[in-house]
Amino acid sequence: MLPVTIDDTSLILVHGSVVDQEVDAIVNAANKTMRGGGGIDGVIHRAAGEMMLRELQEVAPSGARTGQVVVTHGHDLPQPFVFHVAGPRWQDGRHQEPLLLEECYNNCLAEADQRELTSIAFCSISTGIYGFPIDRASSIAVESVIAYLRDHPETKLDRVVFAMYGVEEYKQFETALTSPADGTSGR
């Protein structure tokens, strides 16, 4: 699939793990305790080594609220930074879940801009054990990133990667990228 381009930033979808991406920062779909867990959170913690947990204990001793980005070094990972963010737990869509998920993506991009990074890779936030429906989550993710990039043309980000490990999440993100609500497909 051709990447979608917003100004000078390419949005790229890959079928694979976020930990395998050559980027400045990867996004970890963490929990609010910021102490590791299952799914991609566990994969990232195992790959980074115990020093990442120690750093999290120092920088987020009380955890973090939903949508708040906690930054650590990559430690044993090839990426310099890991952006840990707890997404919303799906209830029924009427408890600000879509807005909170959008906040996760926006806050990660803002953190990347603050650090003047040129690339970031996202996994699918909140769609695992947190139960956010993947079709809605993928649309929110793509639309949030596109809107952020349009609102911040000064960004140094030249590449935003959506790394989807599962087949279904890959298909849903492919659909969201090829036909976003604002019609930016393939530009």
Considering the domain boundaries, does residue 184 fall inside one?
A: no
At 94, which CATH number?
3.40.220.10
How many structural domains are present in the chain?
A: 1
Nearest CA to 34 among 1, 2, 68?
68
Return the pLDDT at 185. Answer: 44
Residue 164: inside a domain: yes
Q: What are 20-38's pLDDT values in tens digits?
A: 999 999 999 999 999 999 9
Q: Rounded mean pLDDT of 60-77? A: 98
Catalytic residue among 41, 76, 92, 151: 41
Residue 135 lies in a domain: yes
> Average pLDDT in the 33-46 region?
95
Quote the tokens at residue 140: 């929110």
Q: pTM to 2 decimals?
A: 0.94
**pLDDT, tens digit (0-9, with 9 covering 90-100), for 138-161:** 999 999 999 999 999 999 999 999
Query: Which range (82-86, 164-168, 183-187) has the least confidence?
Result: 183-187
Q: Which domain holds residue 105?
A: 4-178
DSSP-assigned letter for residue 9:
E
Q: Is residue 186 part of a domain?
A: no
8 in active site? no
Burial of 91 (0-12, 13-18, 19+ CB in 10 A): exposed
Residue 1: the pLDDT is 56
pLDDT at 179: 81
Q: Tell whether 183 is covered by a domain.
A: no
The tokens describing 101, both together, are 């998920």
Query: Residue range 88-106: average pLDDT?
Result: 96
Structure tokens at 62: 């009380």
- Domain for residue 43, yes or no? yes
Q: Is residue 171 situated within a structural domain?
A: yes
Q: DSSP per residue over 21-72, as a string? A: --SSEEEEEE-TT-S--SHHHHHHHHHH-HHHHHHHHHH-TT---TT-EEEE
